[in-house]
């Protein structure tokens, strides 16, 4: 493999950006800062526990006093019942403060969980404890599945999504998943990098957002909210907007006349008019109110998220544009969503027996439906922008948390395309971000006009598949705007196509070989699109005989290279290392080595130049007693 090229020798100009700079850790380091904050919150929890016990005892004492005074006043008539107001008022005040203490304690407990998960990520104990994106996993399986999601462990237990995601809402998870599944334009990536760099050290913002809402985990389901917000208005009678409150006031006035003067007829006339209007509109009222009730979940979380983001001061242009999107027509999204939350509470109150009795006289359902329609007319078209801005901010905060917790991972550098249009991928010290640091062996990669294809040979378990996943995962992170696990990574825009984890399907009636060639056809078609393709092929065409495999592999690689792709192919079949159907210099042989020591295979997982020169397969079979 050609030697590594230094920055001074690089002949490709770099796109101007903040990328390429490895951010150093803070003075105390992320782990120390997390532990400091963790200890502070634990002290708060102990203080809140003491206050909780103290307030509980005071409430119990006041309850005893109230019971004793009630006995003396109502049973023994020793004191006036008015004396009960003092302990009852004191009980109410103490109950309010007690509730505040419990809420503060709950928030502190959730902050503790946040920093415990952060430490777990730093210390490589995070697998299985975070958001795994299970609802996205279907994108990565089957012939019609995503082209690399399953191969690169983007979703599931121990996945890239679980490592990165700290989103509080489903739309935040959706945004992060979309970034990991599709490469972004360079301008977009550079904007994300600038935003992530600014958000990196903003622990206070990430902590605040992590504890908002009543429950931990991802809330706010945007699909139902958007369907309701962007649906056409159902009630178009504008005269109802002034008639409904007028009739409600007339009902109150005539009821007072009935109570004072005994004249019931005016009240009955108003009631009949109100009842006629409500009955005539019952279908539209039910449609509007039921849709409003069913469309929302965790609006309080969304409102508080928006309010917190609106208060923050940002410098990065991308963050400023997101913040501007949270306001439309001089109306802050947080305030509008808070009013919607109140409106939904009013609609839910229709199940209250008292409200049911007053529903027609006060035109309660009609006025609630009109308020709902008015909100939708004013803000319905702005909701999508608010949700999109929130989702993008949460995705950026997820990448920022990773950047803070892994200060040695730099942003990639994006290069301008060369004159021949051949993509470039130069990586130094690439490691797999999902592997614990103690087990992660780093290797280089170099793909460009001089070396279009790396053919990596080696035995099973020597590290070939992990190398493919390392290169692929870091490329996916680079094209999403995230830092990468490398000393340095320089590349032109790339999209990834992988055939690593391809299996047969009993349900679909397809063999592994058929599933693989179907995937190869999709990768071949992808190579004709932009940006250029980075293909990653593990044990290519192993489901057929050696002769067909060599001829087929030559044809596949030739077709991909002719379409402007670069990539890596692994094999343990040394016959593939002698492919002659490619132009001189297009393919470069590399290998992983293994050694047999005392009957056990030993691997160092270091990538070396050239074709593997020895095979320990027969020796290993003999070491376990097979007669070969």
Of 613, 456, 480, the closest CA to residue 181 belongs to 480
CATH code that applies to domain 413-623: 3.40.50.300
Write the pLDDT tens digit of every residue in 502-527: 765 544 445 778 888 889 999 999 99
Average pLDDT, the chain: 84
Q: What are phi and psi of 185, to 5 degrees?
A: -65, 155
What pLDDT does 616 receive?
Answer: 65
CB 323 within 8 A of CB 312: yes
In the three-class reduction of DSSP (H, G, I as helix; E, B as strand; rest coil), residue 260 is classed as: helix
What pLDDT does 492 receive?
Answer: 96
Can you tell me the distance from the alpha carbon of 523 to that of 502, in angstroms, rounded to the nearest whole number? Answer: 13
Q: How many CB atoms lie within 10 A of CB 521?
A: 12
Pairing relationship of beta strands 425-430 and 443-447 according to DSSP bridges: antiparallel
What pLDDT does 47 receive?
Answer: 96
Can you tell me the distance from the alpha carbon of 23 to that of 201, in angstroms, rounded to the nearest whole number? Answer: 11
Q: Which residues lie closer than 8 Å to 282 by C-beta, 6 or more apart?
A: none
Name the pLDDT band for 2 (thresholds 50, 70, 90): very low
- Which of 123-137, 230-244, 553-567 has the lowest average pLDDT? 230-244
What pLDDT does 162 receive?
Answer: 96
In the three-class reduction of DSSP (H, G, I as helix; E, B as strand; rest coil), residue 21 is classed as: coil
What pLDDT does 5 receive?
Answer: 37
Compute the average pLDDT of residues 121-127: 94
Compute the average pLDDT of residues 165-169: 91
Of 458, 443, 444, the closest CA to residue 593 belongs to 458
Name the pLDDT band for 274 (thresholds 50, 70, 90): confident
The first and second tokens of residue 269, run together, are 């006339």
- Check residues 584 and 396 and name the one with the higher pLDDT: 396
Predicted TM-score (pTM) of the model is 0.85
What pLDDT does 12 receive?
Answer: 34
What pLDDT does 134 receive?
Answer: 87
Write the pLDDT tens digit of every residue in 224-257: 788 888 887 777 667 777 788 888 898 889 888 8
Of 533, 537, 507, 432, the closest CA to residue 474 belongs to 432
Name the pLDDT band for 471 (thresholds 50, 70, 90): very high
pLDDT of residue 432 exceeding 90 = yes
What pLDDT does 15 receive?
Answer: 42
Compute the average pLDDT of residues 427-441: 94
CB 598 within 8 A of CB 613: no
- Check residues 26 and 89 and name the one with the higher pLDDT: 89
pLDDT of residue 260 exceeding 50 = yes
CB 498 within 8 A of CB 468: yes
What pLDDT does 21 receive?
Answer: 36
What pLDDT does 626 receive?
Answer: 77
What pLDDT does 569 receive?
Answer: 93
CB 512 within 8 A of CB 502: yes
Name the pLDDT band for 417 (thresholds 50, 70, 90): confident
Pairing relationship of beta strands 413-414 and 488-491 according to DSSP bridges: parallel
The first and second tokens of residue 572, run together, are 């343990």
Domain spans, the chain:
25-123, 413-623
Write the pLDDT tens digit of every residue in 570-614: 987 776 767 666 666 788 899 998 877 766 778 888 999 988 776
Write the pLDDT tens digit of every residue in 46-86: 999 999 999 999 999 999 999 999 999 888 888 888 888 99
3-class SS string, 541-609: CCCCCHHHHHHHHHHHHHHHHHCCCEEEEEECCHHHHHCCCCCCCCEEEEEEEEEEECCEEEEEEEEEE
- Check residues 463 and 217 and name the one with the higher pLDDT: 463
What pLDDT does 618 receive?
Answer: 66
What pLDDT does 507 receive?
Answer: 41
% of the chain surpassing 70 pLDDT = 85
Place of tokens 């949460």: 394
What pLDDT does 400 receive?
Answer: 97
Compute the average pLDDT of residues 143-169: 90
What pLDDT does 582 receive?
Answer: 66
CB 98 within 8 A of CB 56: yes
Continuous segment of H or E residues that includes residue 354: helix 353-358
Place of tokens 């050290």: 201
What pLDDT does 294 receive?
Answer: 56
Can you tell me the distance from the alpha carbon of 437 to that of 419, in angstroms, rounded to the nearest whole number? Answer: 38
Can you tell me the distance from the alpha carbon of 343 to that of 567, in angstroms, rounded to the nearest whole number? Answer: 56
Place of tokens 């003491």: 50
The first and second tokens of residue 140, run together, are 């990565």
In the three-class reduction of DSSP (H, G, I as helix; E, B as strand; rest coil), residue 537 is classed as: strand
CA 576 to chain centre: 41
pLDDT of residue 368 exceeding 80 = yes
């Amino acid at each position: 493999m050609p030697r590594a090229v230094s920055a001074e020798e690089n002949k490709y100009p770099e796109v101007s950006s903040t990328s390429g700079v490895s951010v150093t850790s803070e003075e105390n380091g992320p782990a120390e800062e997390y532990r400091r904050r963790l200890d502070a919150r634990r002290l708060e929890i102990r203080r809140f526990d003491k206050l909780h016990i103290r307030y509980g005892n005071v409430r119990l004492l006041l309850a005893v006093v109230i019971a004793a005074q009630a006995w003396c006043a109502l049973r023994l008539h020793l004191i006036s019942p008015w004396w009960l107001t003092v302990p009852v008022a004191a009980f109410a005040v103490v109950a309010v403060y007690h509730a505040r203490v419990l809420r503060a304690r709950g928030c502190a407990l959730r902050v503790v969980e946040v920093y415990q998960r952060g430490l777990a990520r730093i210390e490589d104990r995070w697998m299985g404890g975070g958001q795994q994106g299970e609802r996205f996993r279907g994108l990565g399986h089957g012939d019609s599945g995503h082209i690399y999601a399953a191969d690169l462990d983007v979703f599931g237990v121990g996945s890239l999504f679980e490592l990165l995601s700290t989103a509080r809402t489903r739309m935040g998870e959706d945004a992060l998943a979309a970034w990991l599944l599709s490469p972004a334009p360079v301008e977009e990536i550079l904007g994300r990098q600038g935003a992530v760099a600014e958000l990196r050290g903003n622990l206070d913002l990430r902590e605040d957002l992590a504890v908002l809402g009543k429950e931990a985990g991802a809330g706010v389901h945007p699909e139902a909210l958007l369907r309701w917000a962007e649906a056409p208005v159902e009630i178009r009678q504008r005269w109802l907007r002034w008639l409904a409150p007028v009739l409600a006031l007339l009902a109150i006035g005539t009821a007072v006349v009935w109570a004072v003067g005994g004249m019931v007829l005016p009240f009955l006339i108003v009631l009949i008019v109100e009842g006629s209007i409500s009955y005539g509109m019952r279908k539209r009222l039910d449609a509007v109110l039921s849709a409003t009730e069913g469309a929302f979940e965790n609006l309080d979380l969304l409102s508080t998220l928006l309010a917190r983001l609106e208060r923050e001061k940002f410098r990065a242009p991308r963050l400023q544009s997101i913040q501007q999107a949270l306001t439309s027509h001089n109306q802050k999204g947080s305030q509008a969503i808070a009013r919607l939350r109140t409106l939904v509470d009013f609609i839910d109150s229709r199940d209250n027996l008292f409200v049911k009795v007053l529903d027609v006289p006060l035109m309660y359902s009609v006025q609630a439906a009109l308020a709902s329609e008015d909100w939708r007319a004013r803000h319905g078209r702005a909701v999508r922008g608010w949700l999109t801005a929130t989702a993008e901010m949460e995705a950026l905060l997820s990448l920022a948390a990773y950047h803070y917790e892994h200060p040695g991972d730099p942003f990639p550098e994006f290069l301008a395309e060369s004159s021949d249009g051949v993509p470039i991928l130069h990586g130094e010290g690439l490691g797999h971000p999902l592997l614990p640091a103690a087990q992660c062996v780093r290797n280089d990669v170099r793909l460009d006009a001089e070396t279009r294809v790396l053919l990596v040979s080696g035995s099973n378990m020597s590290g070939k598949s992990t190398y493919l996943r390392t290169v692929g995962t870091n490329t996916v992170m680079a094209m999403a705007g995230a830092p990468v696990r490398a000393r340095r990574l320089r590349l032109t825009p790339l999209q990834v196509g992988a055939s690593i984890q391809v299996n047969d399907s009993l349900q679909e009636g397809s063999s592994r070989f058929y599933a693989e060639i179907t995937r190869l056809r999709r990768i071949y078609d992808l190579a004709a699109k932009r940006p250029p393709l980075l293909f990653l092929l593990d044990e290519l065409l192993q489901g057929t005989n050696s002769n067909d495999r060599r001829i087929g592999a030559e044809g596949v690689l030739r077709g991909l290279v002719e379409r402007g792709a670069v990539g890596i192919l692994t094999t343990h079949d040394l016959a593939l290392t002698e492919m002659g159907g490619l132009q001189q210099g297009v393919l470069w042989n590399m290998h992983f080595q293994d050694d047999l020591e005392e009957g056990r295979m030993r691997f160092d997982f270091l990538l070396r130049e050239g074709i593997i020169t020895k095979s320990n397969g027969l020796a290993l079979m003999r070491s376990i007693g097979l007669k070969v």
